Structure 1
Amino acid sequence: MGWMGKLVGGTIGFAFGGPLGAIFGAAFGHAFDTGAELDAAAGSRQRLSTVEHHQLTFFVAAFSMLAKLAQADGRVKKEEVDSIQAFMENDLRLDGESRNAAVNIFRTALNAPGTFDDFAGQFYGQFHHQPQMLELMIDILLRVAVSDGRMTRGEEMLILSAVKTFNFNTLRYEQLKSQYVPTADKAYAVLGCSPNDSDDQVKRCYRRRVQEYHPDKIAAKGLPDEFTRFAHDKFREIQDAWEQIKDSRGIK
């Protein structure tokens, strides 16, 4: 049973603190157990595994940060809410329970005192040793920001603050961003390389990306099951980019 099942069943005996913990507690009315309380509840509640804890953190952080992203320009517009709902339905294909949880977190975060930077900082504290997870979060923020047709200055300023908090490579950020902007170099951006790189360099980039972003490997690092489709889509983008570059260069 994953963290979502334990949440629905009311059997979570431990979650997490900080600003994301406050969102989780407010969204679900969950009383966190610690210390002696956790020991006393051990017979009736299940403690989250490390992977489940990571999954819960990723899930709550994603929809909390998206809520603050939607508020980047002072008010939440219908187009922005629609784009996030489309992300839930089309990119993640959340089931009923997961979608209700995501909407609950999103709405709670809209009215919470915690800031985008607060959420990003706690997320980085959890995943600073897993660069793929940091990149996936930046990718999600970019994808949703441009899904309503354009990315506003306020939205990009917030995303850039996450880039800074995550100690994320700015060149890699520009490459990710270019995936959502029409450009002849999009395939190279997906692989994290340049049209000026040699065939051998491009091959190395492709192999590294395949190894880093295989969905099974990402899932083992704590990606929630609800985000598995997103990881599969990203993996398929890597394969498609490689085929496009391979054909254009005549690489065998």
Structure 2
Amino acid sequence: MSIWRRISDFITTTAVDAFSSIIEAVRTAFEGDPETRRRVAFSIAMIALSAKMAKADGIVSQAEVNAFHDIFHVPEQYQDQVTRLYNLAKQDVAGYEAYATQLASLCGSGHRNCQMLEDVLDGLFHIAKADGALHDKELTFLGTVAEIFALDEEKFDRVLARHVGRGQADPYLVLGLARNVNFETARKQYRALVRENHPDMLIARGVPEEFIAIANQRIAAINAAWEQVEKDLKAYERV
């Protein structure tokens, strides 16, 4: 069943008037179905934090709206329910820190699907950079969310590196490599990252199929970084 159908049915049958209530309702409604709960939790995390981040720099640009829809391909029949969720999150007096904390617990921070929280952060970066720049307030927002998600500085820097402008990203940082790495070690790391970030792996840890644009963009950044590192290391070994 489509994740949007799941969310639509959930919203239609759940009487809530605040976003914090929705989070707790998800925990209860899908208690016996952890796979669906992870998928719903991911979707709601993206909607809620996207709404809060849109207000981080005080300006919601059309580019950011378009980026939101790059990730959220919502069928027309479910758009009203998604819009309701977005507006509830945007209007709620609770700060984004409270949402991130609740959602980290719901998604499973510290457990086997903690990687899914990095996927949430990746999606937020995609939206934040859509207007051509990552503003200071947006970076503060993203950094705080990463801390609440228990993602360390190294992981945050790797996500950040994937999203900086083409030609500015540090390919070694994107791949998590030391500068003095040898070719075979670098290639093993590259191949491991490709396996880890394959769309099937994201789906296995709770990212709905409807959000696989995140995986495709991540793989593209990893491939671009490897192309540069491979060239550098082969040139170094020929010296």
- State TM-score, norm by structure 2: 0.79
- Aligned equivalents of 1:54 and 1:32: distance in 2? 10
- Aligned equivalents of 1:9 and 1:154: distance in 2? 35
1:86 to 42, 66, 72: 66
- Aligned equivalents of 1:100 and 1:243: distance in 2? 43
2:218 to 234, 240, 244: 234
Contact 1:13–1:47 (8 Å) recurs in 2:
no
* Equivalent residue runs for 1:9-48 within 5 Å: 22-23=21-22
1:233 Cα offset (Å): 2.5
1:153 to 136, 139, 152: 136
Corresponding pairs, count: 231
1:92 Cα offset (Å): 4.5
1:59 Cα offset (Å): 0.7
User: Greater shift after overlay, 150-159 or 239-248?
Assistant: 239-248
Q: Give structure 2 stretches of 5+ with no counterpart.
A: none
Which amino acid letter does the alignment assign opposite residue 233 of structure 2? R
Structure 1 residues 209 and 32: CA distance shift in structure 2, 3 A: closer
2:193 to 201, 206, 209: 209
Q: Does residue 37 of structure 2 align to residue 56 of structure 1?
A: no
Q: Does residue 92 of structure 2 align to residue 112 of structure 1?
A: yes
Structure 1 residues 32 and 132: CA distance shift in structure 2, 3 A: closer
Contact 1:68–1:110 (8 Å) recurs in 2:
yes
Structure 1 residues 228 and 100: CA distance shift in structure 2, 3 A: farther
SS, match of residue 167 in structure 1: coil
1:58 Cα offset (Å): 0.7
* Equivalent residue runs for 1:146-185 within 5 Å: 146-182=129-165, 183-185=167-169
Q: CA RMSD in A?
A: 3.4
* Equivalent residue runs for 1:194-205 within 5 Å: 194-205=178-189
Counterpart for residue 245 of structure 1: 229
- Aligned equivalents of 1:99 and 1:188: distance in 2? 40
SS, match of residue 163 in structure 2: coil
Percent identical among aligned pairs is: 22
1:199 Cα offset (Å): 1.7
Structure 1 residues 32 and 243: CA distance shift in structure 2, 3 A: closer
Deviations 1:154-188 (A, max 9, x none): 22212111121122121231232123334555333
Structure 1 residues 121 and 9: CA distance shift in structure 2, 3 A: closer
Contact 2:128–2:138 (8 Å) recurs in 1:
yes
Contact 1:188–1:245 (8 Å) recurs in 2:
yes
Structure 1 residues 47 and 3: CA distance shift in structure 2, 3 A: farther
- Aligned equivalents of 1:84 and 1:97: distance in 2? 23
Deviations 1:111-131 (A, max 9, x none): 013321112112221231224
User: Greater shift after overlay, 2-11 or 121-130?
Assistant: 2-11
SS, match of residue 179 in structure 1: helix
Structure 1 residues 20 and 202: CA distance shift in structure 2, 3 A: farther
Greater fraction helix = 2
Contact 1:23–1:109 (8 Å) recurs in 2:
no
1:91 Cα offset (Å): 4.3
Contact 2:199–2:212 (8 Å) recurs in 1:
yes
